[in-house]
Amino acid sequence: MPVDPAFAALLADKRSELRAPPAHVSVDDMRAGNKAYLITAPRTPLHAVDDRVMPGSAGPLNVRIYRPTSVARLPVILFCHGGGFVLGDLDTHDSICHRLAHSSGCAVVAVDYRRAPETRFPGALDDCSAVLRWLGRHAADFDLDAQRLALCGDSAGANLAAATALRARRGGPGVSHLALLYPMLDPACDTESMHAYGRGYLLARSGVQWSWSQYLGAPDDANNPLVALLHADLAGLPTTSVVTAECDPLRDEGEAFAERLRAAGVEVVARRYAGMVHGFAGLPQITPVATHAIDELAGDIRRSLA
């Protein structure tokens, strides 16, 4: 089906397209513009939201802990935000985390990992891995249950979540569910959907290519299985949910990843949302499908952590 008419106004505004920036636009300018729009998304009320500091791979990291209830020892979802490894922060994905905590019944710990190009691969991944390991040892310090852990991320954050889960196969901690929203997995940027939806559907192919160029520090990094996850050994990963959007250049790589997981013996739940564009789950002010998608994903996680 064609793109959902709910996105007509957004797509008509050429300033909204996430493409490679012209030379006069700085990374800070891009971050500010992206943030100004995403922070307008509504928040689902929660019991408590607290900003804390946890140890990262190269120093302290800011995290935000979302608690849906006052129940002790809540299960935990470590959330890695999207933004092409360059944009995004705790505030841009605050709405998604509120809804995810509310609907899953889990605490959500969102990590403010170091971004590119200031920090290139594997810096952001090292930060997410460090926070997961720390939660595995010290979750009780925050009245959280380290025996019930899930990983979740959107777009580039889904890449980081999946790579963190791959690393956790050796030495833990145990991850019971992996939840990926329209994951960014293939630096080649050459799938059918990448060409079909690479212009005019919010996320541009040039923007994806530019994001990879900012994240990768060396040409060989594009072949690293912790970057190009379609080429990783996926055996032993936990039950995984993969959400894709029909009109998203990243659609095909997400769906190929789901097939690769199945071939590796991993239990997979895959959902494609018709008429949706990249990032739709963070836009509940535009489409009710955003809330529906997060609720379905939260249900998958809740069942795995029960």
Return the beta strands (E) in the chain as ranges. 48-55, 60-67, 74-80, 107-111, 144-154, 177-181, 239-247, 268-277
Active site residue 292: no
Q: At what angle do helices 289-305 and 94-104 cross, to 10 degrees?
A: 50
Active site residue 213: no
Nearest Cα neighbor of 96 from 13, 173, 161, 32 is 161
Contact 196, 277 (CB under 8 A): no
Q: Which of 103, 155, 241, 304 is catalytic?
A: 155
One-letter identity of residue 245: A
Two tokens at 254? 């997400």
From the list 248, 252, 300, 304, the catalytic residue is: 248
Distance CA 169, CA 43 (A): 34
The strand order across the sheet containing 144-154 reads 48-55, 60-67, 107-111, 74-80, 144-154, 177-181, 239-247, 268-277
Q: Which of 110, 93, 282 lies closest to 182, judged by CA?
A: 282
Our answer to whether residue 24 is catalytic in this structure is no
- CA–CA distance, 41 with 227 (Å, rounded to integer): 30
Encoded tokens for 122: 């594997």
Catalytic annotation, residues: 155, 248, 278
